[in-house]
Amino acid sequence: MAPRAIITGAAGLIGQYLVKTAPRWAPGWDVTGLSRAELELTESLKVEARIHALKPDLLIHCAALSRTKACEQDPDQAHCINVEATAHLAQLSQDIPFIFLSSGEVFDGKTGWYVETDEPNPINVYGQTKLEAEQAVLKNPTHTVIRIVLTAGTSEASDKSFVEDMCRTAKAGKDVTLYADEFRCPLPAGVIARTIWELVDRKQPGLYHLGGSERLSRWEIGESLLPWYPELQGHLIKGSSRNHVGSLRPADLSLRCDKIQRLLSFRITGFREWLAGRSRLGADLWDYLDGSP
């Protein structure tokens, strides 16, 4: 009988890619994806009963309240979903591998190119809840935390990635303001999924950073997508975080990924290099079966 893997947040961007890529990158696993519609993770008794019934050999926890604005508007809900539900799942998985997707938002963004040993200092509710969840997960030395930053790709409902958000806004005839002084290291969801499945095979738990090898401003990211999304033409506005209104946003969340790179069979590229590779191959942009150029 094949070992069973449970993926929470299966309706989310990375969750969808993990389920879809399993036949290629994790052929030995029987994968069960759970969306919020199938299991509300804040209902502890139902969660406990479902986990015990499924008897997983691995749990990959992708579900979260990940919109920064939503977390600021309802910090209690953010804590319930991001911290309490995560801690409960980690406890239920105390005897099996547990992988938790966290965020570079645990840092304040003042320096950039963060490594795993740098001291976190979240400046918004989302980052704080992710940090608290990390601390609960890493109490178990057999468990793993992977920090990511900005994920590209396409979802079934076309409403999960930053790329989809930009295109939806542009198609509505509105402008998209992108800060030239806010930096990230984006990766396609397919690359993240392949990395996670390889990490499962390596059996090396702990804390890891995962991001593209290229530090790009939000403006540079938008410019790099123009050849693929003509609907963005004329709708991208170059802006500055100095004029930002709303919840605090870290200026630079570039991550160094040397630790996880040493475990992988492929090289983690920069976002623009990955896009160029897609262009050379003439492949569908977010082909979920592909891991790197």
Cα 23 to its chain centre, rounded Å, is: 21
Q: Which of 292, 204, 285, 288 is nearest to 24 (CA)?
A: 288
Lay out the sheet containing 144-148: strands in order across.
30-34, 4-8, 58-61, 98-103, 144-148, 206-209
Predicted TM-score of the model (pTM): 0.95
To the nearest 10 degrees (0 to 180), the angle between helices 125-137 and 85-92 is 20
| Rounded mean pLDDT, 274-292 | 71
pLDDT in tens, 108-155: 999 999 999 999 999 999 999 999 999 999 999 999 999 999 999 888
Model pLDDT, residue 155: 81
Q: What is the mean pLDDT of residues 100-111?
A: 98
Per-residue pLDDT, 289: 53
**Cα 84 to Cα 239: distance, rounded to the nearest angstrom:** 37
Q: Is the pLDDT at 55 greater than 90, yes or no?
A: yes
- Closest by Cα among 238, 211, 63 to 151: 211
* Dihedral pair phi/psi, residue 180, rounded to 5°: -85, -5
Angle at 178 between CA 176 and CA 179, to 5 degrees: 155
The mean of the pLDDT values for the chain is: 94
Distances (CA, A) of 24 to 45, 182, 197, 198, 203: 34, 35, 10, 11, 19
Domains in the chain: ranges and CATH: 4-153+187-211+255-281 (3.40.50.720)
pLDDT digit string, tens, across residues 187-246: 999 999 999 999 999 999 999 999 999 999 999 999 999 999 999 999 999 999 999 988
State the Cα–Cα distance between residues 120 and 109, nearest whole angstrom.
10
Residues of the chain with pLDDT > 90, as a percent, come to: 89
Q: Burial level of 230, CB count in 10 A (0-12/13-18/19+)?
A: exposed
pLDDT band for position 279 (50/70/90)? confident
pLDDT for residue 83: 98
Residue 157 is predicted with a pLDDT of: 78
Cβ atoms of 62 and 9 closer than 8 Å: yes
State how far the Cα of 91 lies from the Cα of 236, in Å rounded to an integer: 45
The string of DSSP codes covering 44-93 is HHHHHHHHHHH--SEEEE------HHHHHH-HHHHHIIIIIHHHHHHHHT
Predicted local distance difference test score (pLDDT) of residue 134: 98
Closest CA to 263 of 197, 193, 185: 197
- CA 39, CA 148: separation in Å to the nearest integer? 24
- Distance between CA atoms of residues 264 and 201, nearest Å: 10
